[in-house]
Structure 1
């Protein structure tokens, strides 16, 4: 991991260890706490298990016996994910990963925010900003997501009203922020807006009502849309977009 501690703003020092690891692009602050508690981080060649100790510019931090340093360049990429790509960094089955679609040289390690399952398409954010990744993933910040859903059966206004009321799933109650038809001429297509980030929650929601989701596409994420991003392509966020993401939940 390339970096220069001296290039970081002076007011960031001293820095808590979990924040240091996140700024090095290794993972989010929450995951960094786990790495430290498992004894996978060394400070000045000594294993530490306290995530909140303070690091100074003179300390050396290692992960997997490699020196890590906070990055001075954060990268924010918005990708329109195709089907049959997984949104994890590594995969023991050697399947296609969304990282394979990023066609540019970078020394930064990118991680997905707001993961999508293999068969779901649409917007996903990749970044090396562990602090922002944690913020967008935390339930209290209520990051809004809109999905276009293709169902296996036609719906009616009566069914649509049931969809809008919410349902008790095995891992908690879900009530859509908004739900309506996507196309007036096709009652199998609906748009659903939620802020939950639970695993396969949209598919499970419609299964609760006896419907199967045949196709699922995330068309909106935290104020970002797919405009001018064709399937399998991506773009870098603008400074204003990054600023808006960082102010979510404030």
Structure 2
């Protein structure tokens, strides 16, 4: 664990209320705006409905009657996600969550940085540092991600070049950084490197060309790999790894 003082050299205060709620791990900034407008948040025991008012470190902010805080002790965890686990903190269908695998989640309000769908395996970060999570999730930071993909059929002649050139999806044109076969022994198995954080982008991309992704595994995320991390296991990031992630986009 690394202290707030070590990682956040500049003062965060005063801070907009919606940002404070997000940094405290309650929800995203957009959803925080909705909570405030609905009157679900109090500041110093008074209901506020303006999400952009500024709060100080000494103010008492409550949600559903409980005091919320930005944690003084931050956790930065890297999990090798197994299949059939969702990457959200709660689920109305009571499906298994990646947080069930994290011992620290029993005492800390932890949440994933981004998401992997239920059937996708591989690297995902988990933290209680909202500032860190918001930073990594922001598109401007161009986080590099590499996935290992197994398709439902052999790649037809000429289609690898099509994969490399990009395609027009429902939500816009998408072009991966790199697409290549993992090795010469299989034309169903590829590596794809991307920066996009759009929902299900890898699966949708191959579907665009008439292929179904059978297996999808994220092997690389922002300089982090699965080395020494078996499926279903997690570890704390080193101080150096955290600092490198904090400096992305600078």
TM-score normalized by the length of structure 1: 0.90
Q: Sort the Cα spacing of 1:207 and 1:12 in 2 relative to 1 into closer, same or farther, 3 A.
A: closer
Tell me the equivalent position of 1:63.
63
Instruction: Say whether 1:248 aligns with 2:248.
Output: yes
Contact 1:29 1:130 in 2 (8 A): no
Residue equivalent to 1:4 = none
Distance 1:103 1:40 in 2: 30
Once the two structures are superposed, residues 42-71 of structure 1 have per-residue CA deviations (whole angstroms, 9 ceiling, x without a partner) of 111222122232222432110111011221
Does structure 1 residue 90 correspond to structure 2 residue 90?
yes
1:92-122 deviations in whole A, cap 9, x for unaligned? 1111110011124653211111201111100
Aligned-pair distance for 1:155? Answer: 1.5
Output one character per residue of 1:167-221: Cα deviation in whole Å (capped at 9) or x when no partner: 0100111100111111221111000011111111111100110111010000011
| Structure 2 counterparts to residues 1-250 of structure 1, below 5 A | 11-104=11-104, 107-156=107-156, 158-250=158-250
How far is 1:22 from its partner?
3.2
In structure 1, C-alpha distance between the alignment counterparts of 2:10 and 2:196, rounded to whole Å:
37
Are residues 51 and 126 of structure 1, via their aligned partners in 2, closer, same or farther at CA, if it must alter by over 3 Å? same
- Are the counterparts in 2 of residues 79 and 124 from structure 1 also a CA contact under 8 Å? yes
- Shift in Å, 1:16: 2.6
Cα distance in structure 2, aligned partners of 1:49 and 1:172: 36
Q: 8 Å contact 1:39–1:47 — kept in the other structure? A: yes
Distance 1:23 1:155 in 2: 44
Moved more, 237-246 or 43-52: 43-52
> Offset at 1:28?
4.1
CA distance in 2, matches of 1:183, 1:40: 54
Cα offsets for 1:213-250 (capped at 9, x unmatched): 01000001111111111000000111111111111112
Instruction: Note the residue ranges of structure 2 that are not aligned, 5 or more in a row.
Output: 1-7
Q: Which runs of 5+ in 1 are unaligned?
A: 1-7
Structure 1 CA distance, aligned partners of 2:184 and 2:232? 28
Is residue 176–residue 194 contact of structure 1 (8 Å, CA) maintained in 2?
yes
Instruction: Find the aligned partners of 2:33 and 2:216 in 1 and give their Cα distance.
Output: 34
Partners in 2 of 1:158 and 1:17 — Cα distance?
53
